[in-house]
Structure 1
Amino acid sequence: MKLTVIGCWGGYPNKNEASSGYLVEHNGFNLLIDCGSGVLSRMQNYIQPEQLDAVLLSHYHPDHNADIGVLYHARLIKGFLGTKPPVLPIYGHNLDQHEFSKLTYKNVTKGVAYDPEQSIEIGPFTITFLRTVHPVPCFAMRIEAGGKAIVYTADSAYKEEFVYFSREADVLLCECNFYGHQNGKGAGHMTSFETGQLAQSAKVQQLVLTHLPHYGEIDQLVKEARQNYSGPTQLAEEGLSISL
């Protein structure tokens, strides 16, 4: 299983970069996790839109789904150019029917509702969900294939249930929108200290901080996370690739 970071910024993308988007590959199957602003542009450095096999969304905030419309237009245009790709399944929850309805576009994409109480199979991946602490319905994901596991927290304040959900994951891709001296609970985000606490309690193999803030010295996030976690820790950045 291989993880490639396409975008890692919270709220909006930095110049020439993207907000949340992560490519997970295994046995030739290409799964895009979240598709925020700028993701489609940056993704083409690694894979073309018609090469995606599925998309999975954590929630419907624009920094996680803004480029869905751009994606289905890209695949539509590829069809006009003579290489029509198959209908692309886009998995999302249906707790917001208005947003979920936007995932289906002509015969280009098809919205597929996942039940967060059940695990699902997407290609070679088995995916389980955990509802997060966020202003809108949002779901963390545990993605497993080939005996390896990646946990993506999506957007959330800290909750104890993350410890069991993330247990012994090979990679914890953890949101970190706040610094250690702040309180992210009201905004539905984690602090750097909390990410380290989670990683240490869950005994994960490595911690990658994502959904990064646009202020402060972001390297400080790693230093603060390391106060609670003794394992490998790094910031997400476009192009970061981890093979498991």
Structure 2
Amino acid sequence: MKINIIGHWGGFPKVGEATSGYLIEHDGFKLLLECGSGVVSSLQKKTNISDIDAVLISHYHYDHFCDIGPLQYARLIKTQLGEINKTLPIYAPNNSMYFDALSLENYTKGYKYDDSQILNIGPFNITFIKNIHPVESFSIKIQCENTIFSYTSDTSYFEELNEFFKGSDILLCECSFYANMDGSNAGHLNSTQAGMIAEKSNIKKLILTHLPHFGEKDRLITEAKEFFKGEIILAEYLLELNI
């Protein structure tokens, strides 16, 4: 399984970069996890828009899904040019007025999920747990053969996350705040909470993402290491990881 960090900023993208977007690949199948601001432009540095097989959205905040519109137009134009002859499935919660907008004629089609479901998308077996966030949001676990890639999306800390992520090879964990900041009212994690989840989940590698636009980013790693002694890195623009 290969993970490409297409975008990793929280809220809005840094100049020339993108908010949440992650390209998950295995055996030629390409799953786009999140489609935030700037993702469609940046994604084309890694792959052709025509080659995306499915999209998975965790929740309806703009920094996680607002590039769905540009993605739909890209599929429309490339279909008209004869480069695409299939509908792109977009999996997302059915808890918003935005769900219906995921379907555009025969170019894209929205499919709903919730935390009671197991999705089988290409080679991936995908499960969910409902987060604590101002809008309904889900943490996501993607299993493929003997590997597990997990993603917190946006959430405040709660104990059930530790069991849900248990044994993950990689945990991509949002880290919107530093240790001395409480992000719970905003529905976000800080650096020490990210480290705590990683330690209690017994994961192999922690990647901090959904990064803040302020402060010294390396502090996030130092603070997370107070709880998790394994490998910790910061998400970077267009970083490639292999499990």
After TM superposition, the score normalised by the length of structure 2 is 0.99
Instruction: Return the offset for 1:239.
Output: 1.6
C-alpha distance in 1 between matches for 2:218 and 2:77? 40
C-alpha distance in 2 between matches for 1:134 and 1:169? 23
- Output aligned runs, 1:201-212, within 5 Å: 201-212=200-211
* 3-state DSSP of counterpart to 1:102: helix
Instruction: Return the offset for 1:116.
Output: 1.9
Instruction: Return the offset for 1:242.
Output: 1.2
Amino acid paired to 1:228: F
C-alpha distance in 1 between matches for 2:158 and 2:220? 19
Instruction: Return the offset for 1:182.
Output: 0.4
C-alpha distance in 2 between matches for 1:236 and 1:51? 24
Aligned to 1:62: 62
Aligned to 1:194: 193
C-alpha distance in 2 between matches for 1:239 and 1:95? 31
C-alpha distance in 2 between matches for 1:90 and 1:77? 18
Amino acid paired to 1:124: P
Aligned to 2:184: 185
C-alpha distance in 2 between matches for 1:187 and 1:197? 19
Between the two proteins, the alignment pairs up a number of residues equal to: 243
CA-based RMSD: 0.7
Aligned to 2:130: 131
C-alpha distance in 2 between matches for 1:239 and 1:7? 7
Amino acid paired to 1:59: H
Give per-residue Cα distances to partners, 1:55-74, cap 9 Å, x unaligned: 00000100000100000100
- Tell me if the contact between 1:50 and 1:85 (Cα under 8 Å) persists in the aligned partners: no
Amino acid paired to 1:9: W
C-alpha distance in 1 between matches for 2:184 and 2:113? 26
Aligned to 2:83: 83
Instruction: Return the offset for 1:42.
Output: 0.4
- Tell me if the contact between 1:93 and 1:116 (Cα under 8 Å) persists in the aligned partners: no
Instruction: Return the offset for 1:115.
Output: 2.9
C-alpha distance in 2 between matches for 1:111 and 1:53? 13
- Output aligned runs, 1:213-224, within 5 Å: 213-224=212-223
Amino acid paired to 2:55: V
Aligned to 1:31: 31
* 3-state DSSP of counterpart to 2:102: coil
Q: Identify unmatched segments of 5+ residues in structure 2.
A: none
Amino acid paired to 1:208: I
* 3-state DSSP of counterpart to 2:184: coil
Instruction: Return the offset for 1:84.
Output: 2.6
Q: Identify unmatched segments of 5+ residues in structure 1.
A: none
C-alpha distance in 1 between matches for 2:95 and 2:37? 22
Identity fraction in percent: 47
Instruction: Return the offset for 1:8.
Output: 0.2
